[in-house]
């Protein structure tokens, strides 16, 4: 059972095509999407995941002289 609008660790990892271990490492390093702890369980708000993805978006820039 999950909270409405939230994903558990497994669901978030699957969405981001990563592992739960990676999410835990990100949390330990203070990177990755914002999360909420409910008791011992960690949940990620879908909106926070989307905001994190947008904040880490990279727009490629063509190098001068290359086609």
DSSP string over 27-56: HHHT-SS--EEETTEEEEEHHHHHHHHHHT
Q: pLDDT tens-digit profile of 29-63?
A: 999 999 999 999 999 999 999 999 999 999 988 87
24 contact partners, CB below 8 Å, separation of at least 6: 9
pTM score, two decimals? 0.81
Note the pLDDT of residue 67. 60
Give the separation between CA 38 and CA 41, rounded to whole angstroms: 5
Instruction: Provide mean pLDDT across the span 6-27.
Output: 97
For the chain, domain boundaries: 6-55
What band does 7 get if pLDDT is binned at 50, 70 and 90?
very high
């Amino acid at each position: 059972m999950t909270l409405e609008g939230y994903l558990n660790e497994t669901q978030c990892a699957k969405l981001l095509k990563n592992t739960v271990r990676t999410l835990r490492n990100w949390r330990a390093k203070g990177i990755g999407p914002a999360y909420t702890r409910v008791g011992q369980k960690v949940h990620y708000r879908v909106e926070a995941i989307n905001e994190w993805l947008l904040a880490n978006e990279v727009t490629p820039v063509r190098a001068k002289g290359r086609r």
